[in-house]
Structure 1
């Protein structure tokens, strides 16, 4: 058995032979340590480039428009060629925009009343696009690094969307249509992508990705659904689709090239899956009501296909 980083890169961990919980824990610790080292080097480079930009002529661009009553906008831009376009149309909307670095871009629109937007961009070439239509919606974006992108769209009332990105080239897309939906995405690393779509009421989608080139897709249509997925490593794929009410989908993948697919059609279904290792595959389909599934795969190259119906 060989365990550890290959070619000096945390996302090329490989295994030959058996697999145990001890090595699973070791894998997590190794990944976390290497991610910390890479992020430390990244942040050092980012802040060096930002400091260099201050020595040149600074030309930031801001276009802010407010139509209505008692709206509040705060914009702070430090660096070179940062661009902000903010529009608030309605009453008692608030927006706080902070940009530090080079060529960060933000476009934010609120149509309605008592909506809130909070954007923090630190680095180079980060982009954020927020659109809210309705009342009492909240959207927040926090980006640290290079060329990260976030797009958040909310329609309805009292929806919450948040995106945190640390690293290079990560992407988040979140869409919510309804009331009291909550979507949260956190990405640390490079090349990770997250898509979260919710329609209905009181749905919750949470995604955490640490590593490189991971893909997360979560779709919910209905009421009171919950989806929570975490991926640590590289090139993992997690897809969850819930159509109905009161469904729960949970997934954890640690390693590389694992695939997890969960489909729930009905009400009150639960699917929980854990995969630790490399190249594992899980497919879970639940049709009907009140099904329960708990799947665990530890090792390499395992495959699981589950179908439940009534």
Structure 2
């Protein structure tokens, strides 16, 4: 008899938990706005507030305790799309401006995406997913934060596997930032673009399970600069600062525990830096300033090499190769 009562109580508790409802709150002020909310599962929450004209919001949530918050204030022609599949996902879209696009896709457990757009003609795309064999067992959440306060900027973030962090801040105009974090886990990327016409590409793991504990920081306050960072292996650090015009910095790190610092501040002619680090415990510092037109190539393989290059004036060129 005790067993029967226990089973009945357990069934009742399960039924109550399963019957939890979803919640949708929507407010629209203006003309020609459109919103679609689809929620399948339990305890999902959608909040949307729109003030403006001809804005479009589409929210799709499948799973348990997902949360979407989409706000458009005094804007026209904006588009926001959120797709969440899993548990405890959180997406925030906050738009003030015209003709912006924010697109979020989250699969897994406890991922977080925050997109803020206060300019016009900006585009932000976030895709977050975890290993499907693991996310139902334990949370290994990703975190993406995109802030666009200029005009005509574009940002793309792709996070796969486990616990990556990406922050993109675009306060200039016509900038582009692409961050791909497909390595094993705990990679960190920060891109800040306060100039105009800059491009940053950060790749932390092109094949699953081959990149972990890497850190990349790109700061572009100049004009028409380009940064490319590839980190494979673990525990690398790359810092690029471009305050000049038309510079190119490429950093490739493969192995473990490399460090690279590149500073480009020339204003008259474009600088070029290429850093290749293979093996372990390599360190490279490149500083380019003055009128510019400098070229620096550093290649280090083996272990425990250190290179420092300082170029000022105009038209300097150097190639450094170290191996053991």
Per the normalisation by structure 2, the TM-score is: 0.77
Instruction: Indicate yes or no: 2:125 matched with 1:129.
Output: yes
Give 1:70's match in structure 2, choosing from 65, 73, 87.
65
> RCO greater where, 1 or 2, for CA within 8 Å and sep 6 or more?
1
For 1:228, the equivalent position in structure 2 comes to 239
Deviation at 1:144, TM superposition (A): 1.0
SS of equivalent to 1:180 = coil
Alignment of 1:167-246 (within 5 A): 167-177=172-182, 178-199=184-205, 200-246=211-257
Who wins on radius of gyration, i.e. which is larger?
Answer: 2
Instruction: Give CA-to-partner distance per residue, 1:256-279, whole Å, 9 cap, x none.
Output: 301111001111111111111211
Alignment of 1:57-96 (within 5 A): 58-78=53-73, 79-96=75-92
For 2:294, the equivalent position in structure 1 comes to 280
Instruction: Indicate yes or no: 2:268 matched with 1:268.
Output: no
Deviation at 1:197, TM superposition (A): 0.4
8 A Cα contact 2:52 2:72, kept in partner: no
Instruction: Indicate yes or no: 2:167 matched with 1:162.
Output: yes
Separation (CA, whole Å) in 2 of partners of 1:72 and 1:102: 25
Report the count of equivalent residues: 255
Deviation at 1:290, TM superposition (A): 1.1
Deviation at 1:70, TM superposition (A): 1.0
SS of equivalent to 2:105 = strand
For 1:146, the equivalent position in structure 2 comes to 151
Separation (CA, whole Å) in 2 of partners of 1:189 and 1:209: 6
Instruction: Give CA-to-partner distance per residue, 1:156-180, whole Å, 9 cap, x none.
Output: 1110011000121100000001200
Separation (CA, whole Å) in 2 of partners of 1:76 and 1:235: 37
Per the normalisation by structure 1, the TM-score is: 0.81
Instruction: Give CA-to-partner distance per residue, 1:15-55, whole Å, 9 cap, x none.
Output: xxxxxxxxxxxxxxxxxxxxxxxxxxxxxxxxxxxxxxxxx
Separation (CA, whole Å) in 2 of partners of 1:224 and 1:306: 23
Separation (CA, whole Å) in 2 of partners of 1:222 and 1:288: 14
Separation (CA, whole Å) in 1 of partners of 2:218 and 2:124: 18
Give 1:253's match in structure 2, choosing from 255, 264, 277.
264
For 1:28, the equivalent position in structure 2 comes to none
SS of equivalent to 2:113 = strand
Q: Which protein has the bigger strand share?
A: 1
For 2:114, the equivalent position in structure 1 comes to 118
Deviation at 1:224, TM superposition (A): 0.6
Separation (CA, whole Å) in 1 of partners of 2:126 and 2:92: 13
Deviation at 1:57, TM superposition (A): 6.5
For 1:45, the equivalent position in structure 2 comes to none
For 1:8, the equivalent position in structure 2 comes to none
For 2:320, the equivalent position in structure 1 comes to 306
8 A Cα contact 2:160 2:181, kept in partner: yes
Separation (CA, whole Å) in 1 of partners of 2:213 and 2:85: 26
Separation (CA, whole Å) in 1 of partners of 2:52 and 2:235: 52
Separation (CA, whole Å) in 2 of partners of 1:252 and 1:179: 28
Structure 1 residue runs without a partner (length 5+): 1-55
CA 1:251–1:57 in 2, change beyond 3 Å: closer, same or farther?
A: closer
